[in-house]
Amino acid sequence: MRFFFRSRKFKIMLGITAGVLVLALVSLFIKNSVMPQNSVIGAITTRIQSYATGVSNWCSDIFKKMGDNEKLMLENAELKAQINDLNSKLVDYQSLQQENEFYKKYLEIKEKNPDYVMEPADLISRNAEDPYGSFVINKGSLNGVALYDPVITEAGLVGYIGEVNPSYSKVITILDANIKCGGMDKRTKDVGIVSGELTAAEAGKTKMINLLRSSGVATGDFIVTPGGEVFPEGIVIGTVDSIHNSKTDISLYAVITPVVDFKELREVMVITYFSGQKAEGGAAND
């Protein structure tokens, strides 16, 4: 509204209004000064007064509309502020709802493992050049996350923290060849070492090596963590896809299909503490 009073249109209206006022005053002076019987002068002054009244009414309407517009602008601003406030509350509600749903997925894990201290995290970037699917999460040392902390979903094991910064961390997945994680067949209790391999990783799988020839591991069996200083006991790793003879010794190895779909990951949980966990900085092998 303040820009209107600086505009050329407003200046023209102001000039017209001033002119009309001058004409009205002149008309009134003439009317009071001349003889009543002078019909010509009377007609002129009457016409001027009529014109002045019309212009005055027109200006009055304009200023009334200006006032109404200003009122509407204020009302619109108030409505926009209310809408913004409602939108903000809706976003907060949806975020809280999503967070509650997220925690519900881990409720059973927490009930079975009351010693766990867990920190939820969101994926913020992926390393497209890493064939093992490493990624970065939005939690770091400021959130209690430390090197080699286990990373899980409600389905099972994702990997561990391979690099920590104050506000973000890098996660190494179980597809990675650098991971050496203990694996145990949940049915037979046979144990081996879960470690990634490039060809398997390209197919979204990993391996469990060092299985004894006498082991009863079979396709379809669930492989879980046996427990240790890096990974707690009982976290599901995946299922046995196939079993093969090792090319380097007399042992067997199993190809494992992880229960976690790494390409679809959006959020994870970091276990920042569990009973028996090795202190930060220890070896990653478990």
DSSP letters spanning 246-270: -SSSS-EEEEEEESS-GGG--EEEE
Among 152, 151, 153, residue whose Cα is nearest residue 161? 151
- Residue 80: the pLDDT is 79
Rounded to 5 degrees, φ, ψ at 214 are: -85, 0
Separation in Å, CA 32 to CA 23, 47, 49, 53: 14, 15, 13, 18
Strand, coil or helix: 123: strand
**Beta carbons of 13 and 41 less than 8 angstroms apart:** no
| In the chain, domain spans | 4-92, 108-273
How many DSSP H helices and E strands does the chain contain?
Answer: 4, 12
- Residue 39: the pLDDT is 55
Fold of 108-273: Thrombin, subunit H (2.40.10)
- Residue 84: the pLDDT is 77
Among 123, 236, 119, residue whose Cα is nearest residue 170? 123
- Fill in the DSSP letter of residue 212: -
Q: What is the pLDDT along the chain (286 residues), one digit of tens a residue?
A: 555 555 565 566 656 666 656 555 555 555 555 444 455 555 555 665 666 566 566 666 666 666 667 677 777 877 777 777 777 666 665 555 555 666 677 888 888 889 999 999 999 999 889 999 999 999 999 999 999 999 999 999 999 999 999 999 999 999 999 999 999 999 999 999 999 999 999 999 999 999 999 999 999 999 999 999 999 999 999 999 999 998 888 999 999 999 999 989 999 999 999 998 876 555 566 7
- Residue 85: the pLDDT is 73
**Interacting residues of 252 by C-beta distance below 8 A, sequence separation 6+:** 211, 212, 213, 215, 217, 243, 244, 245, 246
pTM of the complete model: 0.65
Report the alpha-carbon distance of residue 77 to residue 65 in Å, rounded: 18
